[in-house]
């Protein structure tokens, strides 16, 4: 199935990427009141629907790596910054080349392919979205040097390989434990996906279950700050949780506690890089300054509008220090 790409960013913005606030379409629309979800399963359905609908736009606007950039110099492009985030995770986790990796919440496979092609890893990417699997496979087939292997849906890249599976991450423990050959991994990699998972305790337990002894759980994610006032939470965090379809955000300390309760030990303490990733949302906000994109979002109902308005809350939260970003690693 061919990917029908939306207009690329420069065409969406009339050829100009504004980051100075001169254009702010969000001010024309009200920020929807947070909508409490009925159940975690209903929230998952909304998340799946969002990615089925929006993944083509993500690819057009942001590229194959749908995650924050780690900006080390003012000259860093968003593409370079995104790869630098992957490199930081590799550095912090000391992940050996050639590792067998489970990339949870793999999106359209940018990191999956990067680990295979550049580090010789054998990577399985999982996502809740069937559309993302379609895009990931197509981009993989188009990647330089990619070859489809005899094993169904497995692609060779460099010295590594990739495969993509549509799977609810909270079911990964049972899924990989009941494959014809029980699969264990040297690394479970999860970048900006755990914040979507309602049952994070289950995720840590499943990660421990699927890791080989000595294996690493590598994490990059969004967090709320500790000890927020009710006013800070309502102003900054609540719109993010609502617009980004998140269950209640955790603190960095929560992840450490959950990992330890699952029997994992801390390999690399949480490393807060909020100041070096916040530019991501300045760029993102500039990229969505297009009336057609806002009209499309509104046509999808309140979730579409709340999603775009959450970009403003992200920028505000980073500026106020109420919203944080960190990387960390654990070991079995």
Q: Does 191 or 33 have the greater pLDDT score?
A: 191
Tell me what the pLDDT averaged over the chain comes to: 84
Tell me the C-alpha distance between 77 and 179, whole Å. Answer: 41
In this structure, is residue 120 part of a structural domain? yes
Tell me which residue range forms the domain holding 208. 32-227+250-275+323-331
Cα distances (angstroms) measured from residue 166 to each of 57, 175, 283: 19, 11, 30
Instruction: Report how many domains make up the chain.
Output: 1
Give me the mean pLDDT over the 246-255 stretch: 94
Q: Check residue 80 and give its pLDDT.
A: 95
For residue 179, the domain's CATH number is 3.40.50.150
Cα distances (angstroms) measured from residue 118 to each of 89, 97, 121, 287: 14, 9, 8, 29
Lowest mean pLDDT, pick from 14-28, 58-72, 199-213, 248-262: 14-28
In this structure, is residue 121 part of a structural domain? yes
In this structure, is residue 178 part of a structural domain? yes
In this structure, is residue 215 part of a structural domain? yes
Say if residues 81 and 71 touch (Cβ distance below 8 Å). yes
Lowest mean pLDDT, pick from 20-24, 139-143, 287-291: 20-24
Residues in the chain: 332
In this structure, is residue 233 part of a structural domain? no
In angstroms and rounded to an integer, the radius of gyration of the C-alpha atoms of the chain is 19
In this structure, is residue 141 part of a structural domain? yes
In this structure, is residue 307 part of a structural domain? no
């Amino acid at each position: 199935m061919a990917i029908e790409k939306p207009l690329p960013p420069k065409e969406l913005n009339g050829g100009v990427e504004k980051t100075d606030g001169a254009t702010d379409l969000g001010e024309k629309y009200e920020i929807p009141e947070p909508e409490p979800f009925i159940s975690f399963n209903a929230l998952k359905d909304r998340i799946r629907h969002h990615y089925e609908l929006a993944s083509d736009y993500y690819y057009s606007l942001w590229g194959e790596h749908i995650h924050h950039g780690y900006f080390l110099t003012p000259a860093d492009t968003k593409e370079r910054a995104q790869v630098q985030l992957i490199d930081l995770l590799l550095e912090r986790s000391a992940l050996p080349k050639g590792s067998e990796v489970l990339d949870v919440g793999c999106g359209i496979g940018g990191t999956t392919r990067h680990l295979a092609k550049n580090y010789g890893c054998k990577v399985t990417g999982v996502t809740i979205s069937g559309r993302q699997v379609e895009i990931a496979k197509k981009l993989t087939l188009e990647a330089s040097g990619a070859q489809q292997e005899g094993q169904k849906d497995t692609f060779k890249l460099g010295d590594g390989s990739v495969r993509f599976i549509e799977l609810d991450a909270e079911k990964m423990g049972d899924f990989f434990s009941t494959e014809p050959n029980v699969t264990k991994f040297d690394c479970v990699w999860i970048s900006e996906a755990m914040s979507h998972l309602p049952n994070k305790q289950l995720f840590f337990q499943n990660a421990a279950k699927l890791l080989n002894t000595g294996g690493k759980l590598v994490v990059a994610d969004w967090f709320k700050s500790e000890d927020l006032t009710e006013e800070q939470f309502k102003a900054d965090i609540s719109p993010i949780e609502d617009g980004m379809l998140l269950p209640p955000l955790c603190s960095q300390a929560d992840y450490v506690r959950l990992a330890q309760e699952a029997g994992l030990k801390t390999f690399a303490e949480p490393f807060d890089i909020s100041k070096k990733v916040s530019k991501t949302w300045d760029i993102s906000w500039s990229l969505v300054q297009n009336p057609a994109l806002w009209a499309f979002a509104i046509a999808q109902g309140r979730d579409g509008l709340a999603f775009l308005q959450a970009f403003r809350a992200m920028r505000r939260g980073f500026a106020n220090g109420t919203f944080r970003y960190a990387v960390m690693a654990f070991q079995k």
